[in-house]
Structures are given as structure tokens and as C-alpha cells.
């Protein structure tokens, strides 16, 4: 099922979990349901050609893994910034 990407504004950041080379991970709350999720903000400052290929690879890998110790990718949300 395909649907449009939701806005990151539909989530409220609770706190910062971790930061790595390619992004920052936050604990966030979905405003509509109160559900706690992890949000990763991808670092885009070095990108001139669109979405970082490293992030595309990471999403692809995470979509194929199903393990209790690995976070499931549910969707990609966007921000106008």
C-alpha cells in the first residue's frame, strides 16, 4: 500500500537517544495516538544530489531485518526544512 509521506510535525520529540555519522536519533511521541517511536533525522548538509545513498541503503537493510533487537522501519516522514 502506497501513501504520501506524513510530516515530521505529526510527532513531538521527547529526547535525544543517540547521534552518529549519518544522523541523530530521537525518542518521539506520535501526537495523534501517543505512541512512542524512534525518529532518525538524516544529516543532509553534505548532500548536493538529493537524498543520501547511505540512508537509502540503511532503510533497505532495516526493511529486510525482523529481529527483537532491531527497530522496524514503519515509514519515512518529511520536513520542509
Q: What is the pLDDT of residues 43-73, one digit of tens each?
A: 887 767 788 888 889 889 988 988 998 888 8
The answer to whether the beta carbons of residues 31 and 10 sit under 8 Å apart is: yes
What 8-state DSSP symbol labels residue 4? P
What global pTM score does this model have? 0.81
Give the homologous superfamily in CATH for domain 8-64: Phosphorylase Kinase; domain 1 (3.30.200.20)
Spatial distance between the Cα atoms of 66 and 77, rounded to a whole number of angstroms: 21
The answer to whether the beta carbons of residues 72 and 2 sit under 8 Å apart is: no
- Please list, in sequence order, all residues whose beta carbon lies within 8 angstroms of the beta carbon of residue 31, skipping any fewer than 6 positions away: 10, 11, 12
Amino acid at each position: 500500500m502506497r501513501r504520501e509521506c506524513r510530516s515530521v510535525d505529526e510527532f513531538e520529540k521527547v529526547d535525544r537517544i543517540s547521534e552518529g555519522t549519518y544522523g541523530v536519533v530521537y525518542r518521539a511521541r506520535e501526537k495523534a495516538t501517543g505512541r512512542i517511536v524512534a525518529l532518525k533525522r538524516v544529516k543532509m548538509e553534505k548532500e548536493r544530489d538529493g537524498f543520501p545513498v547511505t540512508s537509502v541503503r540503511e532503510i533497505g537493510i532495516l526493511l529486510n531485518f525482523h529481529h527483537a533487537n532491531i527497530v522496524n522501519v514503519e515509514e519515512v516522514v518529511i520536513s520542509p526544512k
